[in-house]
Structure 1
């Protein structure tokens, strides 16, 4: 029988017993209620009526007896009348009504007989009250009272009998209920025992068997008994036991195999850990050692598993908690100076995986690289970057005035070219050492680049002291520098900024602005062309001039688009052939507000602003286009900036200008200055040779003013040399005439043309002609003129051949 059926059967039995007990109780209660109702209806209520009626009648009798006793004999013999009669009749009527009602009830027959015997007396009083005397009425009332008392006694005895019967019936019902309840309880206990024995015990045995199976008890005997569900469960446990035995044997075999594999892998893992270059340890959630490798043991010592980490890692930050898979990195220093990089990774259960890598050498290299990044490798002085950082730091913290000095070696280029780069490097080292000796211990010296140095001078507390420092630096470099056994004079230009923290805070000064101000003062110092050292202290007006320069730079870029540039032309005069041989194109800028601006003001600015290439192309194309309208015997000379030679399209630009204008290449002269060869001279020479191959005339302007003019003549054969006007201006000096004579002789020897610039007097013209220079240029012939004036210029010069330009044939022959 299944548990389900047993439970249903037990519930049905319990329900049947409960219903039977309920019906039995209901029957007993209904019987008791019926008897109680009969007891009330046939006993209590009639008795109450009798007692009430008897009480009222006794009251009337007592009142009547009192009257009879009080009245005389004659009055007693008289009949009832008035109020007495009404009271007697009312009482008699009440008795008759109650008697009639009592006769309808279930009172005993003896009581009913007594009540019927009262009818005569009641009728006598009611019908004969006019003739019946008061004593007669009193006797009749007494009879009625006695009859009522007799009926009451009979009813009372009947009530007593009925009460005993009801009590017996109630006791019998109570006994039956108790018996029924006992039977129900007994049946329920029996059902409970049945369910326990048939359901609970098998389930408990099933549970115990399952626990034993889970615990892995040996020789466990499983027998399917009990209800069908329990038997099914036991059968399933039996199957599980059989499968467990099979799986256990299989698992034992695999476990043995895996144990061997794990042991082998553990050995391999330990070998791998021991061969790591990093020290490694693993900590559990309680910061106890779980795993370590050989490098860790060598560095920190060998410790047993579960050793607290504080014994070998005393720094709490190394063992602080991390979330799972969270990483962090920090450094620690060992007692022997070793620097370790500690990388930590959070693990499950609040554990930690910690590795230690020796980065001592890396840190040393990093510091060295950091040092090299902030210092000049040649002089070992701080470089521009490091100097800027130091200056920024000083600006943030300085409370007292100090000065910033920028020093530039004026003739370093010529020294480098003359003695070679190694000598120049040695000179730079000596310059740095000399500057370091001019500042106190709080100051610093840096090499900004090239031949430029910077100095932080905390000892200067005012502008006057800054000037004194500048004078000291200039005088110091007036003394020769001993370099590799040679005494070298290296004049310097010095720019100084006197810094006052109170004013600088209001002006928002920073390192960049201070260095810019130093550069402005340095540029001003470089304007001193005496060849000696000079210094300048920065003044706000210099920055205002820089602002004007920036404004001009913006105007310069806009001027190209607005076509504000013009070309003026100054003639070349061939004295021997008595003709204008050509013109030099000179650039002019006609500013709409500032008027005509000198090329000396805007050409350097155009080079700095990066617009010189566009400007040069425009000059080249415009000059070629204008020259194409001149006679074939006239040439056009165009100056090219050194910056234009850095353009990869220079030759293509020249070809395009010639093709566009139709001008022959032989009529175009390209003028260059010696500064062109300062950088990338090999590339420049290649471009010049390509110009010569195209048929262009290449001329060196301002010949003789540089340091290596003769050297360049040996590397490239120019078509023409232009004698600088500085030699022509004072031909009375023996040095100047000697130089002019040498240049003219050199040009003839090298088969080069020669032209003298800056002719301002007839005497200069004739003296140069006497020395053999036949082509000249200068204000004596004409000032630069716009293209519209060129016909007039040619005509004026032609007319002058009969006057001041007239040269005797003997002079020409000589």
Structure 2
């Protein structure tokens, strides 16, 4: 250990001893102060207050005893109670200042507090005897608490005296210990330092090679000085020897550095990137072989700023300068430049790399990543990116048209002709769509059988309509030859036109494509020519539809559906022959909603079967209470007829209501037979075997009505209202006449619906139609209006309301 370390350690030991001693005294002093505080706070002060309270209580007890020596069994008066309460309040004021830590004493004080408060609150409802006894107990309790506190005070005083003695003894012991420790440390330092100095003298002599020269003895410091002088002389000789050896070592290191330099230059020359080091003026400090090959006219020491230097290098190093950048040469090559200022080499390192081929490969990969592998058209990602770019391009002044084209029944092609035929169809469609638009337009395959077109419109009126028409006509009536056969193809087209105002408002590609897809959905859903241009109302309609769907899901559970009835009228009897049950939806906020609004949604949601079950059961229940000559007609949806339990549901409705089967008429439409005609005919046959009447609704508007009439013997034909409403046209009269003749020939009754005027009624009657239905007689009305409707129809015939005025007068005259 060095001398400084020994001195430091000794001082540290003394400091620690002193600090420990001071800390011990400080803690003992704090304990003594705390004991003194407890004598005052927990002893002397509480004792004084309790003794004062005991004196007041004793005075109050003596005064009460003195003033009431008479009848002690009397009830204390209010005035006496007030005096007692005032005296006790003074006692309480003394006790409230008392706070003791002793558990038993605190408990006694709580009991006292309770007893005093009980006596204060008595308010004249106790006897004098009880007051005297309570006061005596209070005085005794206070004296007992005071006696306990005196004992505690004595104990606290003794504890304080003991702690004071301990502190004095500690101070004496600590002083003696510190004095002894200081003397021991001083003795240790004296011997230790002298020994270290002599050891240093021996070491110096050993270093000089003169170990045999022993110290002369005496003062250690003098011996050390003599040794130092001797060593200085010895070291001077040694330094001369070292200097000679150092020159030889330097020559050896210089050769090694040259070999390292050559290896470094060889490594640089094998690097494929061109490399150079420039100083602050642009002068070449170092280059590698790739640099010399790329810029053969430039040598080390030349300035890159020279006018007659290499033009390629001048172009690449022209300002502005960046740490990393890509620059293009005059011949089209691209170079990546990386700059790094290096203080170690005294300049800026510049690395040149020809990335022309890499960029070409990158562009090709980028092209392939944005291209559909099957058709060679752009894919969805590229289409969206291009749309986003066009929407943000300020240079585009006109409108941007986005088309989404869906190939209808494409899965059928895959299923029947194979996937290869489907792929060929998509390729040919892509070529057709590509041929419709200019080169700057973008045609893409967005999905399996969905294409997209992105184009700027020329601003001429009708340009977007012409574009949509061209797309539709490119496939309509122009079969595509696939798998060796011509294939008719139909498409649905949705379009959105984005104007400058939309772009300024922040319309992005995702929103534009949502609008386009929404228009496409509407186009696919509509009959006939499947084209739809986006309107803002479409989104509102879709949102309204979604709200209505949500309401419809709960409508059945909330019993919001109700039945209305429209009469059938027998013209021969001039009375109602029956009623058709029509469902209505009583919405909590929309009011009464007609079936044309919600029936298609119920079919789309798959809820038409439970709704039909409700209509059938509820209608039968109502009809069971009608007169026996009135029939009930219920419409069946195609989904209902194709359900497995329709016959069971009908049987259950008849059984639960008690309605005779021959009074129930079920109406079906011709569209029912488009799918699974054999299964539908079998279901209708089982229903007919129950004794029901089966009627064909909307006859004449469908697909092959006559074929189904011949295959299934319907009981009734219902002439569609479209023929009745426009009976002024000869062809409609001819159709009505033909249906009447067909019904007579096949022994089927005929009913005409949609009769709204007396003229229509007269023409139908002239053609031999004996049963009609329409607003002329009544709109569909609630079941509660049935009696009224029966009377109105009979009264209408009686008063001639259903006749022309002239015929009415003639009838009255006859």
Q: TM-score range by the shorter chain?
A: 0.3 to 0.5
- Structure 2-normalised TM-score? 0.44
Larger of the two Rg values belongs to structure: 1
